[in-house]
Amino acid sequence: MAATVNTPATATLSPPWWRRPMVIVTAGCLISIITFGVRSSFGLFTTPLVDLRGWDREAFALAMAFQNLLWGLTQPIAGAIADRFGAARVLAIGGLIYAAGVVLMAISTNPVMLTMTGGVIIGIGIAGGSFTVVIAAFSRLVEPSKRSWAFGLATAAGSMGQFLFAPLGQAFISTYGPQTALILLAGTLLLVPLFARSLTGSAYVAGASDDPDDLVSAGQALRAAGTYPSYLMLAAGFFVCGFHIAFVTTHLPAYLTDHGMSVAVAAWSISLIGLFNVIGAYTSGILAGRWPRRYLLSAIYLARGAVFAIFLVAPVTTATVVITSMLLGLLWLSTVPPTSGLVALMFGTRHVGMLFGMVFLSHQVGAFIGALLGGTIYEQTGSYHLMWILCIVLSIGAGLVHLPIKERRARTAEPTAEGSTV
């Protein structure tokens, strides 16, 4: 009588409850809610911390700029480690570093210390605990037919975090002051290691993978990406996305209070962007599985430019702030599902964490410039007017640069099998 062999494939028929598909997706989304939510609330601390410490806005903008830059610089490293050893460890450690950075930011007493804590340490922590690592995990843990949906859901969850944490952060600031508020926000990040446990593993079926690039090394994948024009155009467009998001999240609350809006309206503007991006990102994830992704990205960026232009010429009232926040929300992180989907399409899922991390580095270089330049221009001119114009110009450029992208496998990234090329 033949013995029954317990293969990896049969072993996955009855996974523990915390490794079931819906639990995996839910855990990843909860991580996105917390990590992106806390990050999105930092703009609310611009005026309170500046007033408390006697700094200027440029000092706070510099810290936020370095945060975005370090996030970008370490994201490919975090992605590569997640590709090699699994996302769960990276998310857990990243969440702890992130929490430590927020606590240290609360006790920073000079601009240099603020840059090191709120900038460098938090930037590294976000890279490990970010929704980009969650997306990389989903690319292997979720079956191919549902990946675009899962990418959109993870991105939408980050936006839900922005919706929830913006008023929560403002409530903490109003009740306890900015220092205690930061410590309370840090406490929520301690949940990340707990949720990360479900995102262990390397494929949606243990011992099997739909990725034909398992034999391609990280170095080969990087070389292929660096010589593939469509990948480079995708990274160039994502630079603009980072520029927009960092400028708005860092400076919009201060811009609104400068125009006579209350701090409550400023907080709700960030919150509404997050709420409506739940719709925008989820819809984008669905559309990215049905429509040409390059056209979807081009439309998103051009629409952003139109919203910025209207907001610039319209009077700043509660109504215009609400409408602009809603429209920006629909276009906010809706770039992520088609962008990450294109990376997976071009190069497969084996090194998606690293390769999407490289595209995200471009995003964060844009974020560094957007956050810092916003503060610099304000200090030099006393206005954000030039920044809004620059956002419009960059939107047009991003809309155009996506059009020539080829939505197909990068030939140089594909290994040959028995003398054939793909």
State the Cα–Cα distance between residues 223 and 113, nearest whole angstrom: 37
Distance spanning both ends of the chain, measured CA to CA: 44
Per-residue pLDDT at 173 exceeds 90? yes
This prediction's pTM:
0.77
Q: What is the DSSP letter of 130?
A: S
Which pLDDT value is given to residue 213? 54
pLDDT in tens, 288-346: 888 999 999 999 999 999 999 999 999 999 999 999 999 999 998 899 989 988 998 89
Q: Specify the pLDDT at position 64.
A: 87
Report the pLDDT averaged over residues 375-400: 95
Q: Decide if 226 contacts 235 (C-beta within 8 A).
A: no
Above 50 in pLDDT, residue 7? no
Q: What is the mean pLDDT of residues 135-160?
A: 82
Q: How confident is the model at residue 207 (pLDDT cuts 50, 70, 90)?
A: very low
What does the chain come to in residues? Answer: 422
Q: How far apart are CA 149 and CA 23, in angstroms?
A: 15
Rounded CA separation 370/61 (Å): 9
| DSSP letter, residue 86 | -
Cα separation, 18 vs 9, whole angstroms: 18
Q: What is the mean pLDDT of residues 90-106?
A: 96
Percent of the chain with pLDDT over 90: 54
Distance of CA 372 to the CA centre of its chain: 18
Which residues touch 112 (CB under 8 Å, ≥6 apart)? none
Taking 60 as the threshold, does the pLDDT of residue 11 lie above it? no
Among 39, 35, 37, 55, residue whose Cα is nearest residue 47 = 55
Does residue 1 have a pLDDT over 60? no
Residue 146 has pLDDT above 70, yes or no: yes
pLDDT digits (tens, 9 = 90+) for 44-76: 898 898 888 888 888 888 898 899 889 889 989
Q: What pLDDT does residue 201 have?
A: 61
Collapsing DSSP to helix, strand or coil, 417 comes out as strand
Q: Is residue 5's pLDDT more than 50?
A: no
Q: Per-residue pLDDT averaged across 88-115, rounded? A: 95
Q: Look at 124-133, 158-167, 239-248 and tell me which has the smallest mean pLDDT.
A: 158-167
Q: Tell me, what's the pLDDT at 43?
A: 84
Tokens of 302: 């051009």
